[in-house]
C-alpha cells in the first residue's frame, strides 16, 4: 500500500482539530489524474468548511462531520499518472486547479477536467494561489458585473485574496478602479494598478461624490441598500461577502437584503455564486502569462503547518493569499 502525508479533518471546529497524518494514497480511476502536489493555498471557503459555518454548508458537506477527510481546494503540481480515457493531460504536465477537497496532501486524485496547464511564468506556489480567488474575481466583474472598458468600478475589500485579483482583472478589462482597504494595505493595492485607493479607517466611500458602474463587495460591512447610494443609475452591485449576520440565518438574511435592494429602481443588485470552470482557469492563465495579473502572496507555510495557515486566514485582514508548500 502506497502512503502519503496529508492534513486530516476528523471534525468541525477550530484549526486545532486538524491532524498531520500518514494516509493511503488515493487510487486512480477512469477519467482521473493523480497529481503530485507541490503547493496549495488557503481561501476563506476553507475556513468555513473547517468550522462548518454557516451551518447550511453542512447539508452538502456533512451534518455531523466533514464527508471529506482531507481538506483543501486550490493546488498546483505535476501529473504523476493518468487514468483510462484521459487524453488532455499526461505524466509530467505541470497543472493547477480547484477541487472539492483533498489539496492539503502530497497527492490528489481527481477528474482530469478540474486541471489545466499552470501559467508558465508562475511558480507552483504562485499558481496554487489563483484558482478560487481568481475565478471569483473574474466571474464577479466580467459576468455578474458585466464590467466594460471605460466604466468605473469600486472594489470593497481590495487587499484580500479575491480583492487583489479583482483590482488587476478590472484594470485588464479596461476599467477605472477605486479600491477600498485599510491603511497598511494602501501601498500594495495601489501598486496593483488601482487608480484611487480609499483607506476606510479615514474615509467612508459611501459619503463620497463618485458614482460607480459596478461595485464588487467582498466585505459586507455596509448594507446593500446603503451601497445603492454610490451606484450609477444603471449600476450593478455584486456581493461576494460570505455570511455577514450570523451562522444560522445570516446568509439567508443577507441574500434577502440584496434581493430587496434590487427590487426598486434601475440598479441591479446580485449575489455572486462563483463556480469552478475550466475555461476560466484558462482565461486566468492567459491574463497571467500576458503580465496583466500576478498573485499576491503574504505568507508561506509547510504542509505540517497547515493548521497555523488556516488560523492566520481565519483572523481576517490578510493581504493577498496564504500558501502551503508541500
Average of pLDDT values for 54-60?
81
Residues 6+ apart with CB under 8 A from 25: 1, 2, 3, 4, 106, 107
pLDDT at 254: 75
Q: What confidence tens digit (pLDDT) does each residue in 164-187 have? A: 999 999 999 999 999 999 999 999
Q: Give me the residue label for grid cell 497529481.
A: 35
Whether this prediction's pTM lies above 0.85 is answered by: yes
In this predicted structure, what is the pLDDT of residue 316?
Answer: 79
Q: What is the pLDDT of residues 188-231, one digit of tens each?
A: 999 999 999 999 999 999 999 999 999 999 998 899 999 999 99
Contact 156, 217 (CB under 8 A): yes
Q: Cβ(135)–Cβ(276) under 8 Å?
A: yes
CB atoms within 10 A of CB 138: 24
**Higher pLDDT, residue 259 or 184:** 184
Cell numbers 471557503 correspond to what residue? 45
DSSP 8-state class, residue 239: E
Mean pLDDT, the chain, rounded, equals 93
Is the separation of the CB atoms in 160 and 182 below 8 Å? Answer: no
* Alpha carbons 264 and 20: distance in angstroms, whole number: 52
pLDDT tens track for 22-44:
999 999 999 999 999 999 999 98
Cα separation, 193 vs 216, in Å, equals: 16
> Do strands 231-239 and 268-271 pair parallel, antiparallel, or not at all (unpaired)?
parallel
Task: Identify the structural domains of the chain with CATH numbers, from first to last.
Answer: 3-130+295-325 (3.90.180.10), 132-271 (3.40.50.720)
**CB-based contact 33:83 (threshold 8 Å):** yes
Q: What percent of the chain has pLDDT above 90?
A: 82
Q: Which residues of 314-325 are buried (b: 16+ CB within 10 A; e: fewer)?
A: beeebbbbbbbb
Q: What is the DSSP string of 11-54?
A: SSSSGGG-EEEEEEPPPP-TTEEEEEEEEEEE-HHHHHHHHT-S
Share of the chain above pLDDT 70, in %: 97
Q: Which helix (H) or strand (E) holds 203?
A: none
Question: How far is C-alpha 200 from the chain's CA centre?
Answer: 22
Rounded-to-integer distance, Cα 35 and Cα 124, Å:
13
Torsions phi, psi for 316 (to 5 deg): 80, 170
Place of cell 446603503: 226
Give the residue-averaged pLDDT of 17-22: 97
Give the CA angle between residues 242, 244, 248 to the nearest 5°: 95
Amino acid at each position: 500500500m502506497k502512503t502519503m502525508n496529508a492534513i486530516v479533518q476528523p471534525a468541525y471546529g477550530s484549526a486545532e482539530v486538524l491532524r498531520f497524518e500518514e494516509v493511503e494514497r488515493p487510487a486512480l480511476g477512469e477519467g482521473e489524474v493523480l497529481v503530485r502536489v507541490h503547493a496549495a493555498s488557503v481561501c476563506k471557503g476553507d475556513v468555513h468548511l473547517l468550522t462548518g459555518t454557516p451551518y447550511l454548508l453542512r447539508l452538502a458537506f456533512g451534518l455531523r462531520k466533514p464527508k471529506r477527510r482531507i481538506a483543501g481546494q486550490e493546488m498546483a503540481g505535476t501529473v504523476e499518472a493518468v487514468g483510462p480515457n484521459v487524453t488532455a493531460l499526461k505524466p509530467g504536465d505541470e497543472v493547477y486547479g480547484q477541487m472539492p477537497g483533498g489539496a492539503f496532501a502530497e497527492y490528489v486524485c481527481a477528474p482530469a477536467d478540474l486541471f489545466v496547464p499552470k501559467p508558465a511564468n508562475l511558480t507552483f506556489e504562485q499558481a496554487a494561489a489563483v484558482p478560487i480567488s481568481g475565478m471569483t474575481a473574474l466571474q464577479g466583474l466580467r459576468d455578474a458585473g458585466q464590467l466594460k472598458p471605460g466604466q468605473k468600478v469600486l472594489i470593497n475589500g481590495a487587499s484580500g485574496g479575491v480583492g487583489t485579483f479583482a483590482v488587476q482583472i478590472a484594470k485588464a478589462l479596461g476599467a477605472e478602479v477605486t479600491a477600498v482597504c485599510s491603511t497598511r494595505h494602501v501601498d500594495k493595492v495601489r501598486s496593483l494598478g488601482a487608480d484611487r485607493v480609499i483607506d476606510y479607517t479615514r474615509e467612508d466611500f459611501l459619503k463620497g461624490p463618485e458614482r460607480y458602474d459596478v461595485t464588487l463587495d467582498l466585505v459586507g460591512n455596509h448594507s446593500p441598500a446603503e451601497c445603492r447610494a454610490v451606484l450609477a443609475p444603471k449600476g450593478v452591485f455584486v456581493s461576494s461577502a460570505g455570511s455577514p449576520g450570523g451562522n444560522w440565518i445570516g446568509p439567508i438574511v443577507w441574500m434577502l437584503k440584496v434581493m430587496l435592494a434590487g427590487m426598486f429602481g434601475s440598479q441591479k443588485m446580485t449575489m455572486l455564486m462563483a463556480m469552478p470552470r475550466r475555461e476560466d482557469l484558462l482565461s486566468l492563465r492567459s491574463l497571467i502569462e500576458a503580465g496583466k495579473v500576478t498573485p499576491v502572496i503574504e505568507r508561506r507555510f509547510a504542509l505540517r503547518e497547515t493548521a497555523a495557515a488556516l488560523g492566520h486566514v481565519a483572523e481576517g485582514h490578510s493581504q493577498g493569499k496564504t500558501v502551503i508548500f508541500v
